[in-house]
Amino acid sequence: MNNKRRDYFNDQQRQAFDHSYQSFLAPLPADVITRMERIVAAPAIRPGETVLDVGTGTGALIPQIQAYHPGRIVGCDLSGKMLAQVAERYPDVECYQRDIYDLQLPVGSVDVVFMNAMYGNIADKEGALRNIVCMLRSGGRVVISHPQGRAFVERIVKDIPYPVTPLPTEEEAHAFLGVFGLTVRQYTDEERLLIVLAVKE
């Protein structure tokens, strides 16, 4: 994907989320929180590790991530208004307003990457995964997830004013992530939960 096309899609999303960020501040239902706890548990975060939350939004995953006592949490999002909420609520989180394609962290400096409820929104998935794997250390883990599941995303794809793709099937996850040296270790596909856990070999 060329830069002009990627920037166009990202601008659409940035405007949409800047406009609607307040709707993401409502308390989450208990069942959604339980599924998010399963998502954050998947990579077995160890104390002191560096965690990158891609598409962090207003910080929905941050409390669950903090429970594992990582040494560093980095949040990346397109929406400045969403990141302002993260900075206010979780001042210890490092916030970067940019596409994950453009995020520049040192090579091999990240232990765990979450892409929760946003994987389908990534305009340039190949570029994004290439950059993530560069920042990920050997043995690092990537989690692609959604606390409402694949069917939920498939239902909303037609109604979103910017391009959103369905979440990957198990076969698609193995094939696509394998191109970047990531081995799928867990694929959970339930009615209201998707978790793909992959490891950089």
CATH number of 3-200: 3.40.50.150
pLDDT (tens digit, 0 to 9) for every residue of the chain, 201 residues total? 788 989 999 999 999 999 999 999 999 999 999 999 999 999 999 999 999 999 999 999 999 999 999 999 999 999 999 999 999 999 999 999 999 999 999 999 999 999 999 999 998 999 999 999 999 999 999 999 999 999 999 888 777 766 788 999 999 999 999 999 999 999 999 999 999 999 998
- 11-16, long-range: CB within 8 Å, 24+ apart, which pairs? 12/161, 12/162, 13/78, 13/79, 13/121, 13/162, 14/78, 14/79, 14/80, 16/161, 16/162
Q: How far apart are CA 37 and CA 148, in angstroms?
A: 13
Strand ranges in the chain using DSSP code E only, listed in sequence order? 50-54, 72-77, 94-97, 110-116, 136-146, 182-190, 193-200
What pTM did the predictor assign? 0.96
Q: What is the pLDDT of residue 163?
A: 72
Cα gap 128→11, rounded to integer Å: 16
Sequence ranges of the domains in the chain: 3-200
